[in-house]
Amino acid sequence: MTARAETWLWIIQRATAAVLALAVLIHIVTIVYAVRAGLSAPAVLARTQGNLWWLGFYLVFVLATALHAGVGLRTILRELTPWRGSSVDGASACASLFLLVAGWRAAIGLFA
């Protein structure tokens, strides 16, 4: 991989970390609010279903998670194993794609 591509992966890792920090904070604050308000799971689902803001929030949250995890997995594999080359890049990309599809399906399921 070229130095330019490695730089972009570094930037993606840091940018998604920033997005995740904010998203996790919003997610935790929402959970604490729901618990303190005594909301049940069906009540929470009733509030998320059909709400475009929550759908958008969780789609962005999942995208950031998938990208961050894929780049991080690639880095860990390259640092801790002898695995190199395009196969480690492909495996990391597959892991990211799996997380993205699974997460987006879950978010859309909450919205529908």
- The band of 1, judged by pLDDT with boundaries at 50, 70 and 90, is confident
Which domains are assigned to the chain?
A: 3-111 (1.20.1300)
> In this structure, are residues 70 and 93 in contact, taking their beta carbons and an 8 Å threshold?
yes
* Average of per-residue pLDDT values in the chain: 95
Q: For residue range 53-93, list pLDDT tens digits in order.
A: 999 999 999 999 999 999 999 999 999 999 988 999 999 99
> In this structure, are residues 61 and 23 in contact, taking their beta carbons and an 8 Å threshold?
yes
Q: For residue range 14-59, list pLDDT tens digits in order.
A: 999 999 999 999 999 999 999 999 999 899 888 889 999 999 999 9
